[in-house]
Structure 1
Amino acid sequence: MPISSSDTVASTPQQPLLPVPIPVDPNLTDRTRALFNALHNHTGEFAMFGHQGDTSSHHSTTADSDVLDVTGSYPAVCGFDLGRIELGWSENIDHVPFEFIRSEARRMYQLGAIITFSWHSVNPITEGGYGDNMAPESVASVLHGGKLHEKYCGWLDHLADFLLSVRDDNDNLIPIIFRPYHEHTGDWFWWCPGSPAQPTDTEAVQFAALWRMTVEYLRDKRDVHNILYAYSPDRSRIDMTDDATAQAGYLYGYPGDEYVDVLGLDDYWDIDQPLTGPNAIDPAERHDTFVRILTLIGQLGAERGKLAAATEVGSPREFASAFGSNPDSPWTTFMLSAATANEFTQRVLWYLPWCNFPGAAEDSGAYGTPIAGSQYADDFRRFVRDDFMRLADTLPSMYGE
């Protein structure tokens, strides 16, 4: 008999009953099921360091990865974006060829790393990206019965075709953590319903319907079974006044436990903020709030049988070290101390900063990782080589091999 989402299991006699983890897709490929199980089994034991566009955007001239150049290893979680796949382009939003993404996903998987895809799709009405990504009734137009529903199904077909093309050398589908419709609590992407305090014209129930429609199309119509689905609100629009308000803000637009494998969070707000000026907030207060939001997603994960992850994070740089004893230690002073703060923050499985775009200086507000020669490089190495953290070369087998 299938296990329902209400079934529970006790992890130890001293702990309360916890939900049995059940994937969104009951027909996962063997290796994707193995990844799902491994992630749950290792929850609380360690956290993984991830990086977006690690080998496509780097400053190093001697290595194809700044993380590799600084630490001696590739990240444990490697992020790629599929924006423009919907239009049938040969390269993504950052002009990275999809063939390169496919081959790098294969290479990182062979190294034992975990692959995650985001999707900065254009607006279905305007077909515009940043700066032209919002239009009234965008979500309504692609839902069942909407005037652009068939067009959007065509976009999902392009997406499905690519997801089904990401295979290893033996033609096995590579497991992928797919993170669509991210930062929906903001107001900068066409799928955003916003937040309770700052709603858009899209209702929260419409966002949830879009999410469910996408999962059902990929899983049930296109037989894409190598996917775990990650939900990732934007922290900046979550009211942290109290725990109940924070939880309500985090779950605004939530599509339901049956449609989510990973409770993620995109958080630049608590991490990469100015020390001076009208928007400055005491760094210790930011750190406390960061611990609180990580605690929230870790606790929700435990209560709902879900994985938890910091699916995008800013780079702490000098901000975090302002309340520490060493001005060059933001990664250990801020990020590591938060990751290990309590039993629930320790359930957060990975931290993924954004790309190291070649034209961006480390202190420019472009989020990423320290480069060789940076004043933060030594501390970054201490962070990723801490006993609690994992890179690709210290990650145990996650695919049942």
Structure 2
Amino acid sequence: MSGAEDRDVMVIVGASLAGAKAAQALREDGWDGPIELIGSELDLPYERPPLSKGYLLGKEERDKVFVHESGAWYVENRVGLRLGRTAVAVDRERHVVRLDDGTEVEYGKLLLATGSSPKRLPVPGGDAPNLSLFRTLQDSERTRSQLLPGSRLVIIGAGWIGLEVAAAARERDVEVTILETAEQPLLRALGPEVGALFAALHRAHGVDLRLGVGVDSFTLQEVDGVEVASRVRCADGTEIEADHILVAAGIAPNTGLAEAAGLEVDDGVVVDQTLRTSDPDVFAAGDVARAWHPFYEEAIRVEHWANALNQPKVAAASMMGVTDLEYTRLPYFFSDQYDLGMEFVGHLPAGGYDQVVFRGDPESGAYMAFWLTADRRVLAGMNVNVWDVVDEVRALILGRAEIDVARLKDPGVPLAEVAAS
């Protein structure tokens, strides 16, 4: 491509859920010009939640994970798919994205949907080739093949991925040990009160959950001329033998491309409420975006499916010149573990919360939890095996009303009637 016409091209870097949804939104909202979607993986854009849930357990077919089930959608909608290609540089002055094969793609507007990558452990043996990470479709398929009854799996990290994979492994009668440096699972996401409930859930299903335990190193063993990790040495000196080791120690946003291009980066690519970066022709969405949220009056980065699903609609509109559409949705995520299904809506700020209020008995397996400020306003809510309440929880958060805690605790009182009189 060359010439003035190239400046009309919408280029999306990241053939992910966010990238595919942005291309879809551009077409649905009337963009008739060229769209180029660039992704480093060879698979069509897909959704990640099934990878650690239904697909990992073999309950969902492979073709169900894709945003669009076949490549025909991209052909019919004239979306240029460049799969297996990695963007290595952005020249903002020339409006060019350079790919790893030397190709240059000119853009008029550019969306960065580069997502995030799993963190490796910076310890001796941490780069062993058999240490599994969990992010891609191939990662899920490899892990699924390893979940053999009676095998020993060590998972490092008790975040959402670690716990969901542990639940899937226990359903396959795999022996599971989880190592977590924090005092409870999901401590940063949910706090100690609710984290303790997830600890009890996994221990009740036979998981050897070890909290407050870090990894000192991996013991290497030569197999077919390659040194592989065969044991985990913990910081307390204990060693754990494993058939397979999964490192689920969190993710980091893929900001390298943006940073090298001189865009503002701070725990993600910094964007405003319209998802525009510090460059008026460059936008960001999904895991990589740290977006200003009008309701919270702060910039937040959310590493969950709902953001990748919903932000692209706003990004696409902004790329087309719409200036008054803002991303204002409250963060939302869900998880399935054993017979537990949960949904969470809201945001816990860095300053924390004052108290957690339970509605219903957590031991019953069906309950709700609410995180409140000191002046008894709802920051976030979680429903566990209680359904069709997310809109009501969202209304409580957005209403910013002072809550009558006794009424909030009582399942017999409608959520719409828990505000203090």
With CA pairs under 8 Å and 6+ residues apart, which has the higher RCO, 1 or 2?
A: 1
Greater fraction helix: 1
TM-score strictly above 0.5? no
With structure 1 as the length reference, what TM-score do the two structures score? 0.27
Greater fraction strand: 2
